[in-house]
Each structure stands twice: as structure tokens, then as C-alpha cells.
Amino acid sequence: MRRVAIAPRHDWQDQVERLGFAFHTIDGETYWDESAAYAFTLEQIERDVEAPTDAIEQLCFAFIEKAIDDEEILARLAIPAAQWDFIRESWQRGDRNLYGRLDLAYDGTGPAKLLEYNADTPTGLFESSVVQWDWLEQAMARGALPAGCDQFNALHERLITAFGQLRAPAPYRLHLTCVQNSNEDKGTVDYLMDCAVQAGLDARFSFIEEIGLLSDGRFCDGANQPIETLFKLYPWEWLFRESYAGNLATARCQFIEPPWKAILSNKGLLAFLWEMEAGHPNLLPAFFEGDPRCAGLSPRHVRKPLYSREGANITLLERGKVLDSDDGPYGAEGFILQDAAPNLFGSAGQYAVLGSWLVASQACGLCIREDASPITKNTSRFVPHYIEA
């Protein structure tokens, strides 16, 4: 793993915009950053990213099996008791999932370490799947990189295949939803909708605020069309606490991501995984705050709220001193403490976190987020990667 400086395409804005990538610059700051790229060997990708990602997913499934009938665990994860049956049934029914992203610390040597699992509402998908793919093709075409380079990125193909298999019989009607006022979320959903259309589905979009409830108990879109299958780029922990929470289980709707993802998209997962598999090479020691075992953590550790997105409310501590933190609105449900990763890649004053993508629970792609601080935030830059020829 190396950080390689590469000259950006002179017209890179035009090039990424032609793909429909509209948020390459966010609040005046570069988000898509092709002034550098990360180079990996094929062995690093297959042995240190792909295989551990699949292994961690299996570990997560084992944890769900355990958690699903353990009220203490579900309560510890701050999942409302009223939703436990709803979650259980989705798991027992075998509701399929579409995608997720493991955030890993990795510096090119030794095992990658799981920082967290964005199991429910990951973004960064379009730039991973399409924009960095096209960047590599062009980099090889213009001679900036040697021909024969590759990339860990089968996202586009896998997403289309997965959409066709989420529900039977296919093609089915799929609604997709996200919040208003977020270009990034809308961009992710627009891309997924494109994949769904290519899978032959009847795909329709509604903002989450438009969703209504029909007299027969089903949800409907802004045009009163009943919703039978809903992709929601909106976290389960919020859906569980809003006005329609009591209608979720009776809406006869297949949700994507399925309700059982609520068990994984929670930092409490990190503490439970460590409890299950202490010493696992791809896990970092982690405990719920207040657990006496926290005393055994490294002096340099991280405090994370159970629910947090884009680095919000995460604090990096060294011997009780705050080294880095990000403000935010999360934390009411509690915190976990996790050892700071000893193998975060740092170069040229930049830290890099690997995002390892799963589609239908199979590792199939990689993205790199870079930041001048060790906490990846919503201001972090997306830097493309390639596998050396």
C-alpha cells in the first residue's frame, strides 16, 4: 500500500460531471481528490481486505443469531423493545440485504482492523463504483498509470445482480427514499435507482417526508402508490422512533436494508464482537463505556456513540487527554470505547481509512477516505485506488 501523487486530469471536473457526479466539491472544499491515489498489490487486496471483510460479515451473522433472542443484547444496543419482533422476523424470514461498508484501518502490513460497520445507510457508493472506475480507465489510457492496472471494484455489476435477487418474483416494484436537502444522499439513491432500473425493476423515488400511510396499513409514496419494497437511505434507529414506527411491522413492506441490519449498524456491535471473539486479528478491543474491562484498553483509545454518522461525536483520547474530536448531535444512547487502531495508514500528513464494500454480503469493492485528522468525517476527501499491474 502506497500513496502515490498523480497529476489530476486537467479537466477532471468536466470528466466526473459527465458521469453525473455533482458533489465532487462540497461547501467549496474538494471531496473527490485525484491528486493522489493509493496503490495496492493484488495480495494485499485479496488477503488483507477481501478475505477479512467476508470473515467479519460471517462473524456478524453469528452475532445476529445470538442477539436475536437475547433481550439483554437488544436492550444494550438501544433498540426499542417494540421493534424486537419486527427485527427477529426479518432475520428468520431471511430478508436479503443489499449493501454495507466496513471501515478498516490498514497500513499495508499485518491484518486490517475493523473500525466500524456502516451496515445500514452507507454512502460514497457512486464515487466508489463509477467515478474511481472511470478515473482508472482514463489514467491508463493517458499513460499516467501503466496498462494492466486493476481495481477492487465490482460494485456496479454486483449491485445490478443483487437488485434482481432481493425479492421474488422479479421484476418487482421498488421504491427508493431519502431525506430532502441532502445532495449526497440523493446522489446515492439516484445511482441505486439506476442500478435497479438496469436490473429490470419498476423503480420509483419519493422523499421520506412524502411517505404516507394508507387506510389498509400499507405505506404509500407521494402519489399514493402503495409501497411494497422500500430501499431507504434513512437509518433504522430513526425510523424506530418516528410517528410511523408502530406501523412498520404491519405495513407488509420489504425493507432494504432489512430490519436486522439495525443490530449491525450500531457501535455496540464492536464491543459484542470483541466479547465473542476476543483476540480476533481483525478486531480491536472494545467495551461499552462503564464496563470495568475498559481499564484494560490501551491509553490511546476512541470514544464512539452507539449511533453516529460521519465521525460525529467521536473522540480520540490519549491518557484521558482529548487528541481529536468531532462535534455532533449523537451520544444520548451511550458510548463504546475502542482501542485506537495502531495501523492507520499515514503519509504526507494524511490519514487514510479503507472502506470495504459488501454487496449481498460479499466483499466486492474498496474506497479510500483521507483526512488530515485521524477521525474520518464528512469533510474527508475521497481518493481513488488501484491494484498495481
Partner 1 sequence: MKRSTQIGLAAAGVVLVATIWANSGDDTQEDSLVYNSLAECRAAGQLSSSQCEQRFNEATANHLRDAKKFTSTAACETEYGAGSCRSAVWNGAQVVVPALAGIMLARSLSQGGGAAQPLLPPTQQACPPGSQQPECQQARSSSSSSGGSSGSYGGRSGSSSSSSRAYSTTSGAALVARSGTVSGASSASTVSRGGFGSTSHSYSSSSSS
Nearer to partner 1, 118 or 315 (CB): 118
Nearer to partner 1, 57 or 297 (CB): 57
* Residue 83 zone, left/alpha/beta (φ > 0; ψ -120 to 50; rest): alpha
Please say whether the beta carbons of 122 and 261 come within 8 A.
no
How far is residue 266's CA from residue 335's CA, in Å, rounded to a whole number?
A: 10
Helix (H), strand (E) at residue 141: helix 132-141
Nearer to partner 1, 20 or 342 (CB): 20
| Residue 331: count of CB within 10 angstroms of its CB | 17
CB of 254 to partner 1, least distance (A): 16
How far is residue 163's CA from residue 192's CA, in Å, rounded to a whole number?
A: 9
Nearer to partner 1, 109 or 181 (CB): 181
CB of 120 to partner 1, least distance (A): 9
CB of 242 to partner 1, least distance (A): 5
CB of 71 to partner 1, least distance (A): 25
* Residue 334 zone, left/alpha/beta (φ > 0; ψ -120 to 50; rest): left
The SS3 of residue 6 is coil
| Residue 344: count of CB within 10 angstroms of its CB | 18
Cell of 331: 451520544
Nearer to partner 1, 83 or 121 (CB): 121
The amino acid at residue 18 is R
Nearer to partner 1, 92 or 180 (CB): 180
CB of 371 to partner 1, least distance (A): 14
CB of 250 to partner 1, least distance (A): 13
